[in-house]
Structure 1
């Protein structure tokens, strides 16, 4: 709610606490890491992509990266490759699930690495409310969220506190991952 509708609905400090809960500590148990891995790869968890054994190997590779904190891009790309072959099937599955997913195993590995970086920042307590607000505003500007929405029948802009608009269930379900990616990408762009 905070991501789309702002502080009138959920205060930023509460959204940051919710994001920290969403991230959890994947290094605490393998079960926690497995749940985090499932969330990260959800758009690709489909029986039409690869075999159950190959999908499970990929899931466990992501789980192990979360659990150990060590991201081995070669392993992730190798385990993901079968989920992208043939490319036409991969695209059709992603579209049928009304989701977005990287188009190549290499792009997927990059996205996972950046999300893991964002999650590590949240879990360590290094993300402050002001940084979270900056990420939200940047996303709103780049996505055109506020501008794309038509005014409501009353003339009230969607997104104002009196008419919040309606993001899709898929948009809501992926907002945590988008926040983590944005935080990770922002930290990569910051001067060292």
Structure 2
């Protein structure tokens, strides 16, 4: 396999921004299962499946970005890290909303004799957790990458107490 060229910072940051943009806007909508018409049940199931597919696509894209981050020599800005934290918070909220509604989903599935809603619900919750975990992994990788790419202090040997005091005083 041929070595991939190191991507310029703008490309990696742009890809990371793209990765986090639009990830969770629809997750703030109502997710309460409403008993009633089959159409509403079908629409809820489809909404869950589409959300799960979007999460899966983000995870696939994120896996590719992990390699690009590791291959770069550029520091990723704190603004990008803030986007990751924001999306993680949105996913945490989404996960909480869905998991607190589990009894309602179970009851709806039993009442409507629907055997497809619960798997869609469970798979979506699992995929949200997996995506959250991937964002965490990416965030840590970016932070470690930034440290590795930061300028290094050459340091110097300290041989006296006065030199040690001088160094410690400079850190204040």
**Is the pair's TM-score, using the shorter chain for normalization, greater than 0.5?**
no
Pick the TM interval, shorter chain: under 0.3
Question: What TM-score, normalized to structure 2?
Answer: 0.28
Which has more helix, going by share of residues?
2
